[in-house]
Amino acid sequence: MGRSGLFWGIVLVSLGILFLLGNMGYLEFTLGRILTLYWPLALVYIGVRMVAKTYGRFAWSTIEQTVETEPARLIDGRAHLYATHVLGDLHIVVDREFKGGVVQVGLGDLEIDLRTATVPDGTWRLECISRVGRVRVRPPEQVSYLTTAFCLAGDVVTANESKDGFVKTIVYASPDYHDSAGRLEIVARSGLGSVIVR
């Protein structure tokens, strides 16, 4: 989805929520009142786009990386992920021994592929957060893991369950999680967008 599609998607979702709350009697407003109050948001949007074009580092981007490049830090040959990406999609592939970390995206999709990663003995934690956008984590195939997946508005999908709607959480543990020497705790959260851990 392009920047324009994302913006208009957020506008439509916001308007839909406002109209729904109005129909349910929680808010009193008319379409004219909304346009009168919120038309300056169009100016804000145009201004943000102009700034993004002027300063390329704020422009929408998709970053695809492996642990050999930033944002991963290799400590003793093991991957520790610590990354923050403000605007745009972030895709990371980990294909070596992994010891957790924290990865955040402000506005955009976050995908972390751990399918070929290994986890040393102990319990390691990975936090994946997107304020607005999808979070997708592909857990290691040969490693036991515990997932806590949360979404404020959108779908939540794990290996054994799927929920959609508002304020949904799924907690899933692989069958041998509590008996494994090396295991991974995955916490995946999104404000507006889906969360998929499988």
Residues 106 and 51 reside in one and the same domain:
no
pLDDT at 2: 53
Q: Which of 14, 32, 58 is the last residue of a domain?
A: 58
Q: Is the pLDDT of residue 61 over 60?
A: no
Mean pLDDT for the chain overall: 79
pLDDT at 96: 81
pLDDT confidence tier of residue 177, bands split at 50, 70 and 90: very high
Residues 176 and 113 reside in one and the same domain:
yes
Contact (CB, 8 A) for 136 and 111: yes
Residues 48 and 145 reside in one and the same domain:
no
pLDDT tens-digit readout, 3-59: 556 667 777 788 788 778 877 777 776 667 767 777 777 777 677 666 655 544 444
Residues 189 and 123 reside in one and the same domain:
yes
Residues 47 and 141 reside in one and the same domain:
no
Residues 49 and 92 reside in one and the same domain:
no
Q: What is the mean pLDDT of residues 132-147?
A: 92
pLDDT at 51: 64
For 22-161, list the strands marked E by DSSP: 62-66, 72-75, 78-87, 89-93, 98-107, 110-113, 122-132, 135-138, 144-157
**How far is it, in rounded angstroms, from Cα 8 to Cα 52?**
17
Contact (CB, 8 A) for 146 and 187: no
Higher pLDDT, 110 or 63: 110
pLDDT at 134: 92
pLDDT confidence tier of residue 127, bands split at 50, 70 and 90: very high
Residues 165 and 69 reside in one and the same domain:
yes
Residues 36 and 88 reside in one and the same domain:
no
Q: Is the pLDDT of residue 154 over 90?
A: no
Q: What is the mean pLDDT of residues 122-134?
A: 91
Residues 33 and 87 reside in one and the same domain:
no
Domain total of the chain: 2
Q: Which of 58, 81, 96 is the last residue of a domain?
A: 58
pLDDT at 59: 40
Q: Which of 58, 78, 104 is the last residue of a domain?
A: 58
pLDDT at 97: 84
The pTM assigned to this predicted structure is 0.65
* Domain of 138, in residue numbers: 62-197
According to DSSP, the residues that pair with 136 across neighbouring strands are 111, 196
Residues 83 and 143 reside in one and the same domain:
yes
Residues 130 and 160 reside in one and the same domain:
yes
pLDDT at 4: 57
Nearest to 118 by CA among 184, 30, 57, 189: 184
The sign of the torsion formed by the CA atoms of 196, 173, 148, 116 equals negative
Residues 106 and 166 reside in one and the same domain:
yes
Q: Is the pLDDT of residue 185 over 90?
A: yes
pLDDT at 74: 45
